[in-house]
Amino acid sequence: MTEGLTTGNLPDEYQQLIDSVADFARTVVAPVAAQHDEEHSFPYEVVAGMAEMGLFGLPFPEEFGGMDGDYFALCLALEELAKIDQSVAITLEAGVSLGAMPIFRFGNAEQKEEWLPQLTSGEALAAFGLTEPDAGSDAGGTRTRAELAGGDWVINGNKQFITNSGTTISKLVTVTAVTGVDARGKKEISTLLVPTSTPGFTAEPAYNKLGWNASDTHPLSFVDARVPEANLLGERGRGYANFLQILDEGRIAIAALSVGAAQGCVDESVRYAKEREAFGRPIGANQGIAFKIARMEARAHVARTAYYDAAALMLAGKPFKKQASIAKLVGSEAAMDNARDATQIHGGYGFMNDYLVARHYRDSKILEIGEGTTEVQLMLIARDLGL
């Protein structure tokens, strides 16, 4: 893969992936999305379908059970899924970029051999345990601790807002914890692999969320949870730095998901504007509606171009941190703005949860918060500019 990815001019293998995932989203995801949203139930049958298609293995080599694709392929799949159901899309995104990717990037041979085949096949899900009640963007607030005792890490603390951590197929949580003090007197933060079967680990009752109701999200607690010393992931003291690298990549994936949400709102609004009549003609014949939808399409296109650019740089091995932040910023804002406009276009129907645009309205807000808030993205962009 090289730089210069452009919309409407993708290689055949990418277009074939788009077509197959779009068909899956229409025929498998769409019929059950509203029910899972209303019931706050995890869509196991949809996840099984994604696993059968190989979506959880898209960016991983065949030697680990993957599809030997790349990160851009994952992004394309996320965009198509998010047009229909953001909960399904975030389940895939978190399972791949936050669950399996840290092991692929930083794990040793034994850790990869043990965990990656389960995760790339979709047989199991892994979660990414970074955020705490007092520590999100601020790593210095990390309070979860891990101490070596008798050849084990003994973990105590809490995590919150952790996706894919409490399903029946959730098998692993990668956790950041304070493991000591570095030479500068600051907290030494390392990363540990904690199987969900570990005594002392508990996925607390699921959150009652505003949106993403069919995705699995829990607070986690660790009370003298013991894992072998060999469960250290990567170099001791590099846990937070490694997670920041994972988040840089993940922001491209969230940007792609956001573009899917933004485009889904365009597609629904175009359909509705052609069908809904008022005063003897379709409402799309009115410039007030047509121009609003045109702006929505422009937002989605610009945001898509931004994540394509960031993905191309990443795959070319070039610096992409700023471009990932830009993509995440404009993508999440496009999703939220388009959801608001789509709801307005649909009028009273847009306020009904049976309509896709209502779900997008509720779901899209978290895109401006998760995996780095809008304010964090602005800070990173400004820092890159030397400000």
**Residues with catalytic annotation?**
371
Distance CA 273, CA 281 (A): 10
Tell me the three state secondary structure of residue 137: coil
**Residue partners of 82: CB distance under 8 A and separation at least 6:** 89, 256, 257, 258, 259, 260, 261, 264
Distance CA 110, CA 122 (A): 19
Contact 118, 171 (CB under 8 A): yes
Distance CA 387, CA 384 (A): 7
189 forms beta bridges with 178
274 forms beta bridges with none
Cβ burial, residue 168 (10 Å; 0-12/13-18/19+): exposed
Q: What is the DSSP letter of 284?
A: G
Contact 359, 33 (CB under 8 A): yes
